[in-house]
A = this chain, B = another copy of it.
Amino acid sequence: MKQFKIDDVAKETGLTKRTIRYYEEIGLIKPPERSEKGTRLYTEEDIERLKKVIAAREVLGFSLQELQQFLTLKETIEAHHRDYRNATDKEQKQQELKEIAAGVREQIDMLEQKMKKMLEWKKELKQLHEKIQAILEEQ
C-alpha cells in the first residue's frame, strides 16, 4: 500500500500542510501512520477522506465541527452494526440507533431545504442574465 508524505497530500488536495495538521489536531481526520522517526505517512484512503471533508466544507458551508459529526455518522453506524448482535444491552443500542437515524433525517431535510433555496437563487440569477442580454441587444 503506497504511502504519501504531507507535501504530496497538500498538492493533491490543495490544502496547506498547516491545514492538514490542523484537521488532524481537531480530530476531523484520524492521525495517519508515522515513520519510525515521526514523519506522517498517509494512505490513499486518508486522502479520500480529506477530499470528502473539502467537498462537504465547500458545498454545505458547514463549520468543521458540523462536518465532523456529519462525516463520522457513517463510521458510527458501521461500528454499531458490528457489535449490535452480540450486545447485552440491545435496548440501549437500539435507542442509540434511533437517535442516529433521527439525526440523519434532519440532515436530509436540511439538504432539501437548501437545495430548494438554491433553486430560487438560480432562477433569480437567470432572470438577471436575461435582462442584461436584453439591454445589450437593445442597441
Please give the residue numbers on chain A whose beta carbons come within 8 Å of chain B beta carbons, in ascending order: 55-56, 58-62, 73-74, 77, 80-81, 84, 94, 97-98, 100-101, 104-105, 107-108, 111-112, 114-115, 117-119, 121-122, 124-126, 128-129, 131-133, 135-136, 138
The A contact surface, by secondary structure, is helix
Q: List 20 A-B contacts (CB under 8 A).
A: A55-B117, A56-B121, A58-B61, A58-B114, A73-B128, A74-B124, A74-B128, A77-B131, A77-B132, A81-B131, A84-B135, A84-B138, A97-B136, A100-B132, A101-B132, A101-B136, A104-B125, A104-B128, A104-B129, A111-B122
Stoichiometry, as copies per complex, reads 2
